[in-house]
Structure 1
C-alpha cells in the first residue's frame, strides 16, 4: 500500500495536466481510478477530483465547494437520495480536523478545445462542511476548501 502524501507529490506542481484518470493514478497525484476522494477516515483526504458530476460543486478562485459522494443517479447526474458518510466523506471530515493540505484536481477543456484533461489546481485546506438539503432537496455534504497561499 502506498504511503499517503499530504502535499505536492514528487515534482508535480499546479498547472500540470493529465490525460485521464489512469495517468492521475500512475503519477500518484490522485491514486483512485474512479473515486473522487483519495484518503482514509483515520488520516484524512490526500486529494480530490472535481469532474462536474455533482450539482453542488463550485470552483471559485477564493473557495471551492465540493460535495460528498453518493446518492446520485448515474444516468441523469441528479441527486436522488441523501448522502451517507462513507470513506471519502469521512476522510474529508477528518481533514477539517487535521488541517493537512489536500491536492485539488479539476476536469477542464484541453488546450485544443476538443478533449478534457485533469489539471492539478494546487494545495487546499478543508476549512468546513455542512450537511443540509442541496439543490435537489436531498441531504448532501458540502465541503469548503481554500487555497494554501505559497504552497
Structure 2
C-alpha cells in the first residue's frame, strides 16, 4: 500500500499575506485541512500546517520567531490549561517536524474590521522545543518556530 506524503511547503498559489475568510475555506482549499484542530499533521511525517489563534496562554509571538503551545490539557469549555500535556499525536508530529526540518505552513487568526480571517504567514520550521511548567503551572510542550529559509 502506497501512502502519499502530506504536502509540505506552499499549497497552490497561496503566498504569505494572503487572507482566507474562514477555517472552512482553509480546509476546502487544502491549506489547513482540519476545521477545528490547530495542527494538521501525522506523527510519522510531521506537521504540515498550524493555526495561531491567540487562544493558548503559553503561545508567545515575536517578530522573528514564536513559541507555539502544544496540544492537550485544556478545558473544552473555558480553554484554560487544567492538566499537564502528554505526548499526543499532534505533539509527536511537531517533534517530528523538528527532526526532519520540513517546512510548516503557518496561518494566523486576525480580525481586520472586526471580522475573523486567517492570514497566511508563510513557511516556518520547528527549531526547538521545551516541556515544562506553563503559565498555569501545568507542564506544556512549547515549540519554537522560525522562518523557513
Q: TM-score range by the shorter chain?
A: over 0.9
2:89 counterpart of 1:87: yes
Answering whether residue 20 of structure 2 is matched by residue 18 of structure 1, we say: yes
Deviation at 1:3, TM superposition (A): 5.0
What is residue 73 of structure 1 aligned with on the other side?
75
Q: Residue 123 in 1 paired to residue 123 in 2?
A: yes
Task: Name the structure 1 match of 2:31.
Answer: 29
**What's the TM-score, normalizing by structure 1?**
0.93
Deviations 1:72-111 (A, max 9, x none): 123322110001111111100000100000000010112x
Q: Within 5 Å, give how 1:20-59 maps onto structure 2.
A: 20-59=22-61
**Distance (Å, rounded) in 2 between the aligned partners of 1:38 and 1:114:** 26
C-alpha separation in 1, matches of 2:77 and 2:27 = 25
**5+ long unaligned stretches in structure 1:** none
Deviation at 1:59, TM superposition (A): 1.8
Report runs of 4+ in structure 1 exceeding 6 Å deviation.
Answer: none
After superposition, give the CA deviation of every residue in 1:22-65 in whole Å (9 maximum; x if it has no partner): 00001111011111111111100000001111101122111111
Q: Distance in 2 between matches of 1:134 and 1:61?
A: 21
Name the residue aligned to 1:138: 138
RMSD after superposition? 1.3
TM-score if structure 2 supplies the norm length?
A: 0.94
Which runs of 5 or more residues in structure 2 are unaligned?
none
Aligned-pair CA distance for 1:2: 7.1
Indicate how the Cα distance of structure 1 residues 2 and 11 shifts in structure 2: closer, same or farther if over 3 A, else same.
Answer: farther
Structure 2 partner of 1:98: 100
Q: Which residue of 1 aligns with 2:147?
A: 147
Q: How many residues align?
A: 147
Alpha carbons 2:5, 2:45 under 8 Å: kept: no
